[in-house]
């Protein structure tokens, strides 16, 4: 089936269709419901009793992916970031498009040994012990306003380490942005209270009950 579509806001043509004005005007609740339809839930993965939220299906849905990024862009724009910083790997597919749409740079956070130049590192605790992340020492300039971005907020450990890296380079973290929040795991409280991130932005929230 072929559709007649209208392009809005100067968006580049998308061969198989473009998001309509109605979808762009979704209120936060309607947006959340639309995005949840594109997120697959898998029970008992990676172990019995765990309900896994598979976001890869959202990225496979071009309409949902564009909706998510476009709305996240508008939520982040008021913070006036100079740079978006994202941890590997899915932070790249959220943070990269954010940076592009906002006309700012993107800085990569990776595991130690994956970046070729001089780096700074930050450690954080995972379920089975300590881990660490790294960023190029010249990725940011002191005083730059930074939004840290990732696909999902769970306990906040990875993003907490990302925040630490930004601050080690003299950057100012003005917000953290995510597509999904697993609210029952406490990541928002951790970032706001322990890491002193001024604002946490999410589009989809799960309470732990699906």
| Separation of alpha carbons 44 and 33, rounded Å | 23
What six digits make up the tokens of 185?
A: 């795991």
| Separation of alpha carbons 174 and 176, rounded Å | 7
In the annotation, is 77 catalytic?
Answer: no
Q: Active site residue: 2, 15, 117, 127, which one? A: 127
- Report the 3 state secondary structure along 39-76: CEEEECCCCCCCEEEECHHHHHCHHHHHHHHHHHHHHH
Q: Active site residue: 88, 90, 167, 172, which one? A: 90
In the annotation, is 145 catalytic?
Answer: no
Beta bridge partners of 16: none
Task: List, by residue number, the catalytic residues.
Answer: 90, 127
């Amino acid at each position: 089936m072929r559709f007649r579509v209208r392009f809005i806001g100067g968006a580049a043509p998308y061969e198989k269709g473009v998001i309509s004005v109605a979808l762009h005007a979704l209120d936060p609740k309607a947006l959340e419901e639309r995005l949840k339809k594109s997120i697959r839930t898998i029970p008992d993965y990676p172990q019995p009793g765990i309900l896994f939220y598979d976001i890869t299906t959202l990225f496979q849905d071009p309409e949902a992916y564009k909706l998510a990024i476009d709305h996240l862009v508008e939520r982040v724009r008021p913070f006036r970031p100079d740079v978006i910083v994202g941890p590997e790997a899915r932070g790249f597919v959220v943070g990269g498009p954010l940076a592009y749409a906002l006309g700012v740079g993107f800085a990569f956070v990776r595991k130690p040994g994956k970046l070729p130049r001089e780096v700074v590192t930050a450690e954080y605790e995972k379920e089975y012990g300590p881990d660490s992340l790294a960023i190029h020492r010249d990725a940011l300039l002191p005083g730059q306003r930074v939004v840290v971005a990732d696909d999902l907020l769970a306990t906040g450990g990875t993003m907490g380490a990302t925040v630490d890296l930004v601050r080690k380079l003299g950057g100012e973290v003005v917000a953290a942005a995510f597509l999904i929040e697993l609210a029952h795991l406490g990541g928002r409280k951790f970032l706001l209270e322990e890491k002193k991130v001024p604002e946490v932005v999410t589009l989809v929230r799960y309470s732990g009950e699906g």
